Structure 1
Amino acid sequence: MFLSESKFKSVLKSTPLISIDLIVENKKKQILLGLRLNKPAKGYWFVPGGRIFKDETMVEAFSRLTKEELGVELQLSDATFIGPFEHFYDDNFSGDDFSTHYVVLGYRIKLDIPISQLPTVQHGHYQWFDMATLLSVDDVHCHTKLYFITK
C-alpha cells in the first residue's frame, strides 16, 4: 500500500518502519553494495533493501524487493535470516526536519549477478566489496558494516 507523501511523513514522524535488507554475497565472497541516491544514507554505500508495506507479508515483500532492488525475483526460502537490526537516522526521505527509525530484518543471499543488470532507482552505482575494504572505508554506511561485525 502506497501512502500520499503527507500521510507517509506523518507516519514516519511517529513510528518506526519495518524493512528488509538484502546482504548479497557472490561466489568470491564479495558483498554487493549500491551508492544511495536518496535520504536517508544518501551518498553512502549500502546494501539493497526496502520497507515492508502495510498488509504485505514478509514473503511477498521479499519477492517484491528482490525484483525491485536486484532485478530478479527470489523467494524468502532462497535466503538465510541473519537477524533483526535497528537503524536510526537524523534525517528522512524528504529532508532534515525529523528522524527516521527502521527495524530491519537482515537476509543473506548467495547470488552472482552482473552489476550492469541491476536497477538504478535507489542506487546510482553498484560495486562488489571484499570484507576488508567494506569494513575499512568511510563511505560504507555504519549500518551496513554492522551486518559483518561479529557479536
Structure 2
Amino acid sequence: MWLSNDLFRSVVASTPLISIDLTVQNFRGEILLGQRLNRPAKGVWFVPGGRILKNETLDAAFSRLTREELGKAFQRSEARLLGVYEHFYANSIFGESDEGPDTHYIVLAYQLILAKGEGLQPPHAQHDSYRWWPLVEAQVSKEVHDNTQAYLDDLL
C-alpha cells in the first residue's frame, strides 16, 4: 500500500519505519554499496534496501526489494538474517530536521551471497552509482555510512 505524501510524512513523524537492508556479497567476499540519492543518508555509500509495506509479508517484501534494488528477485530463504538494527536520522525524505521530521528505522538486515558468475543490474532509483567494496576497506571508509559499517562489523 502506497501512502500520500501528507500521510507518509505523518507516519515518519510518528512511528518507526520497518525495513529490510541487503548486505550483498560477491564470490570474492566484496560487498555491494550504492551512493544514496535521497535522504536520509543522501550522498554516502549504503547497502541496498527499503521499507516493508503494510500487509506485505517478509517473504514478499524481500522478493520485491531485491527486484527493485538489485534488478533481480531473490527469495528470503536464499539469505541469512544478519540481525535487527535501529537507525536514527536527524532528517527524512521530507527535508532536513528544520524542514521535516526525523527518521527512525527498525531494520532487518540480511546477508545474501552471490554465486560465482552471478551478476546484478541494480537500477539507479535510490543510488547514483554502485561499487563492490572489500569489506575491510568499507569498514574504515569515511564515505560509508556508520549504519552500513555496523553490518560489516557483524560480517567480519
What's the TM-score once normalised by structure 1's chain length? 0.96
The answer as to 2:123 corresponding to 1:119 is yes
The alpha carbon displacement at 1:94 in A equals 1.2
- The match for 2:93 is 93
- Which is further off, 103-112 or 33-42? 103-112
Q: Unaligned 5+ residue runs, structure 1?
A: none
SS at 1:72 equivalent: coil
Q: Deviations over 1:77-108 (max 9, x none)?
A: 01000110000000000101321000000000
Q: Deviations over 1:96-126 (max 9, x none)?
A: 13210000000000125546x2111000100
The answer as to 2:73 corresponding to 1:73 is yes
Q: Distance in 2 between matches of 1:114 and 1:121?
A: 19
Q: Unaligned 5+ residue runs, structure 2?
A: none
Runs of 4+ in 1 over 6 A off after TM superposition: none
**Correspondences of 1:100-111 after superposition (within 5 Å):** 100-111=103-114
The answer as to 2:151 corresponding to 1:147 is yes
Q: Distance in 2 between matches of 1:5 and 1:146?
A: 30
- The match for 1:55 is 55
The alignment's C-alpha RMSD in Å is 1.3
Percent of aligned positions that are identical: 50
SS at 1:145 equivalent: helix
Q: Distance in 1 between matches of 2:47 and 2:111?
A: 11
Q: Distance in 1 between matches of 2:19 and 2:107?
A: 5
Q: Distance in 2 between matches of 1:133 and 1:76?
A: 27
Q: Distance in 1 between matches of 2:66 and 2:119?
A: 14
Q: How many residues align?
A: 150
Q: Distance in 2 between matches of 1:56 and 1:118?
A: 22
The alpha carbon displacement at 1:135 in A equals 1.1
